[in-house]
Amino acid sequence: MRAFRPLFAALLGGLSLAATAQTKWDMPTPYPPANFHTENIVQFAADVDKATAGKLKITVHSNGSLFKANEIKRAVQGGQAQIGEIILSGYTNEDPIFGVDSVPFLATSYAEARKLMTAQKPVLDAHLARQGLKLLFSVPWPPQGIYAKNPIATAADLKGVKWRAYNPQTSRIAELVGAQPVTIQAAELSQALATGAVAAFMTSGATGYDSKVWEQVKHFYDAQAWLPKNAVLVSQKTFDALDKPTQEAVLKAAAEAEARGWKTSEEKTKFYLEQLARNGMTVADPSPALKADLKKVGDTMIAEWLKTSGAEGRAIHDAYMK
Ligand code: PCA
C-alpha cells in the first residue's frame, strides 16, 4: 500500500488542478423545461461546454426552481447566481427602458420587434452596465393575445374579472379596462386557473400551450398586442474573470442562441395556436369593438411610457418610428 502513496498523491493533485481549471455557473430561469426559451438556453449551455472542452459548465435551473422569476435579476446582481434569464418588462417599474417591448401595439410583429430592439439595445446595455450586468442575448415571446374563461366581445366584458398579470404593463391594462389584476408568474399559472384565482389574462400561445390552459380556459383572441423579450444576463465581474478564449466562446454561443431563439419563436407561433384549437379552444381575432378598445388602452400606455422614460425613451421611440 505504502508504495502506491506517491501515485495516489499525484492523482489527487491532478484532480484538484482539474477542479480549479473548471468554472461552474448556476443559471436560474423562470420558465418550464419544455418551453422554447428554456430549450434554447439548454442548447446554449451545451454549446459553451463543448466550445470550452468542459472548462465552463453552466447548470440550468428552470421553472423558478432556484430563484423565483422576480428574484432572478437581483440574484445575478448580488452574485448568488452567475447568470440568469429574466423577462425584461418584468422590471419596468425599476427602469422604464427595460419595458419598451411591452407597450401595447408599439411593435406587434417580429420585424417590428427586431427594429424596436435595435433602437433599445444601446440604452439597455448602458443601463444594465450601471448595475454590473451584461446582456448576452434576448429572444421574444410570440405575440400576446387574450385568454378568457368567458367570451369577450368588448373591453366592458373584462370589468371586475380576475386578471392575471406578469409585468407592470399587464397590470396596467387590467386597471384601464376595470379588471382586477393579480400578479402570477408563469410557473404558477396552471394552479391559479385551477383554483379560480384568475379568469382572464394576456400572454402568448407558447405559455398557453406550456400551461395547458385549455383545461380551464376556452377562448383565445389573437390580439397580437406586443412581443415581450426574455434576456440572458451575466454578472460583468463574473464574465471578466473568465479567460479570453472562454469569454469568446460564451459570446459566440450567445449570438447563436439569439438568432436561433428569434427563429424558433416566430416559427412556432402558428403551431402554438393550432394546439390551442386542437385542444378545444376557440381561437379568433378580437372583434372590431374589442380591437378599438384595446387600441385606446395602447394609446394611453404609449403616452404614459413616453412620460416616465424621459429623453432616452423619446430617442428610442423616435429611432424606432423612423
Ligand atoms: N409568456 C410569459 C411572458 C410572456 C409570455 O408570452 C408569461 O405568460 O409569463
Ligand 1: residue of 188, 198, 207 to mutate (most ligand atoms within 8 A of CB) is: 207
Specify the number of domains making up the chain: 1
Range of the domain at 262: 23-321
- Ligand 1 atom at minimal distance to the Cα of residue 201: 8
Determine which helix (DSSP H) or strand (DSSP E) holds 168, and give its type and residue range: helix 168-177
> What pLDDT sits at residue 14?
46
Among protein residues, the one whose CA lies closest to atom 7 of ligand 1: 186
Let me know if residue 263 belongs to a domain.
Answer: yes
Grid cell in block for residue 175: 386597471
Give residue 105 CA to ligand 1 midpoint distance, Å: 16
- Ligand 1 atom at minimal distance to the Cα of residue 87: 3
Let me know if residue 41 belongs to a domain.
Answer: yes
Our measurement of the distance from residue 167's CA atom to the centroid of its chain's CA atoms, rounded to an integer in Å, reads 11
Ligand 1: residue of 139, 147, 166 to mutate (most ligand atoms within 8 A of CB) is: 166
CATH of the domain at 144: 3.40.190.170
Ligand 1: residue of 37, 191, 201, 203 to mutate (most ligand atoms within 8 A of CB) is: 203
| Cell 502513496, located at residue | 5
> What pLDDT sits at residue 186?
97
| Angle between the N-to-C axes of helices 36-51 and 244-278, in degrees from 0 to 180, rounded to the nearest 10 | 160
Mean pLDDT across 75-87:
98
Give residue 146 CA to ligand 1 midpoint distance, Å: 12
Let me know if residue 11 belongs to a domain.
Answer: no
Among protein residues, the one whose CA lies closest to atom 8 of ligand 1: 203
Query: Does the Cβ of 141 fall within 6 Å of ligand 1?
Result: yes
β-strands 23-28, 200-203: how paired? unpaired
* 194-227 per-position pLDDT tens digit: 999 999 999 999 999 999 999 999 999 999 999 9
- Ligand 1 atom at minimal distance to the Cα of residue 144: 6
DSSP 61-94: E-TTSSS-GGGHHHHHHHTSSSEEEEEGGGGTTT
Query: Does the Cβ of 213 fall within 6 Å of ligand 1?
Result: no
> What pLDDT sits at residue 250?
98
Query: Measured between alpha carbons, how far is 131 from 151 in angstroms, rounded to an integer?
Result: 44
CA distances (Å), origin 17, targets 10, 12, 20, 50, 244: 11, 9, 5, 20, 19
- Ligand 1 atom at minimal distance to the Cα of residue 204: 6
Query: Does the Cβ of 203 fall within 6 Å of ligand 1?
Result: yes
Which residues lie below 8 Å from residue 266, measured CB to CB, with a gap of 6+? 110, 142
User: What is the tally of helices (H) and strands (E) in the chain?
Assistant: 10, 11
* 171-186 per-position pLDDT tens digit: 999 999 999 999 999 9
pLDDT at residue 19 greater than cutoff 80: no
Grid cell in block for residue 226: 406586443
Query: Measured between alpha carbons, how far is 225 from 144 in angstroms, rounded to an integer?
Result: 5
| Cell 422569476, located at residue | 69
pLDDT at residue 16 greater than cutoff 50: no
Let me know if residue 5 belongs to a domain.
Answer: no
Helix, strand, or coil (residue 141): coil
Determine which helix (DSSP H) or strand (DSSP E) holds 247, and give its type and residue range: helix 244-278
Amino acid letter, residue 299:
D
Which residues lie below 8 Å from residue 220, measured CB to CB, with a gap of 6+? 145, 146, 147, 205, 208, 273, 276, 281, 282, 283, 284
Let me know if residue 3 belongs to a domain.
Answer: no
Mean pLDDT across 251-267:
99
Give residue 166 CA to ligand 1 midpoint distance, Å: 7
The answer to whether the beta carbons of residues 141 and 266 sit under 8 Å apart is no
> What pLDDT sits at residue 13?
44
Q: Greater confidence, 10 or 229?
A: 229
Query: Does the Cβ of 186 fall within 6 Å of ligand 1?
Result: yes
The answer to whether the beta carbons of residues 41 and 234 sit under 8 Å apart is no
Let me know if residue 2 belongs to a domain.
Answer: no
Give residue 178 CA to ligand 1 midpoint distance, Å: 21
Ligand 1: residue of 141, 164, 171 to mutate (most ligand atoms within 8 A of CB) is: 141
pLDDT at residue 88 greater than cutoff 90: yes
Let me know if residue 288 belongs to a domain.
Answer: yes
Let me know if residue 131 belongs to a domain.
Answer: yes
Query: Measured between alpha carbons, how far is 234 from 81 in angstroms, rounded to an integer?
Result: 9
Helix, strand, or coil (residue 162): strand
Query: Measured between alpha carbons, how far is 304 from 162 in angstroms, rounded to an integer?
Result: 24
> What pLDDT sits at residue 20?
52
Grid cell in block for residue 170: 399587464
- Ligand 1 atom at minimal distance to the Cα of residue 166: 9
